[in-house]
Chains A and B, each alone.
Chain A
Amino acid sequence: MNNILEIRDLIVSFASDGRKERAVAVNGVSLSVPKGGIVGLVGESGCGKSVTSLSVMGLLADNGRVDSGEILLDGEDLLKLSDRQRRDIRGNRISMIFQEPMTSLNPVLTIGHQVTEAIRRHSDMDKAAARARAIEMLDKVGIPEPEKRMGNFPHQLSGGMRQRVMIGMGMAMAPELLIADEPTTALDVSIEAQILRLMRDLQRAGGTSILMITHNLGVVAELCDEVYVMYAGEVVEHADVYTLFRECAHPYTRGLMASLPRMTPKGKRLYNIPGTVPNLRAMPQGCRFAPRCEYATEHCHSEKPALKDIGGGHLCRCFRG
Chain B
Amino acid sequence: MPKYIAKRVLVTIPVLLGIVLLIFFMLQVVPGDPVTVMMKEHLKEDVVQNLRQTMHLDDPFFIRYLRYVWDLLQGDLGMSWKLNRPVTNLIAQAFPYTCRLAIAAALFSWILGIPVGMISAVKKNTLIDHLSMGVSLFGVSMPVFWVALILQNAFKNVLPVSGVKSWQSYILPTIVLGWSSAGRIARLTRSNLLEVLREDYIRTARSKGLSPLRVITGHAMKNALIPVITVMAIQLSSLLSGAVITESVFAMPGVGSLAVTAINNRDMPLLQGTVIFTALLIIAGNLVADILYSLIDPRIRVE
Contact = CB atoms under 8 A, between A and B. Distances in A.
Interface of A: 57, 59, 87-92, 95-96, 98, 100, 103-109, 114, 117-118, 121-122, 153, 155, 166, 169
A109 B207 contact: no
A155 B298 contact: yes
A153 B294 CA distance: 14
Contacts of B201: 103-107
B40 interface: no
- Classify chain B: how many residues form its interface, as a range: 20 to 34
A108 B222 contact: yes
Nearest to B297: A108
Contacts of A96: 207
Output the residue of B203, B207, B226, B297 with the most chain A CB within 10 A: B207
A247 B12 CA distance: 72
Nearest to B205: A106
B204 A121 contact: no
Given A100-B200, A104-B201, A105-B204, A153 B298 contact: yes
Interface in B249-303: 296-299
Given A100-B200, A109-B219, A59 B298 contact: no
B290 to A, nearest CB: 17
A57 B298 contact: no
Contacts of B219: 106, 109
B208 A121 contact: yes
Contacts of B200: 98, 100, 103-104
B209 A104 contact: no
Contact of A87 (B204, B209, B297, B298): B209
A117 B203 contact: no
A118 B223 contact: no
7 contacts: A87-B209, A91-B209, A104-B204, A105-B204, A106-B205, A107-B297, A121-B208
Contact of A91 (B208, B222, B223, B296): B208
Contact of B223 (A95, A107, A117): A107
B223 A106 contact: yes
Given A100-B200, A117-B218, A107 B207 contact: no
Contacts of A95: 207
A106 B207 contact: no
A105 to B, nearest CB: 6
A90 B209 contact: yes
Given A87-B209, A87-B210, 6 more contacts: A90-B206, A90-B207, A90-B209, A108-B223, A117-B210, A155-B299
B211 A108 contact: no
B199 interface: yes
B194 to A, nearest CB: 12
Contact of B208 (A100, A103, A118, A155): A118
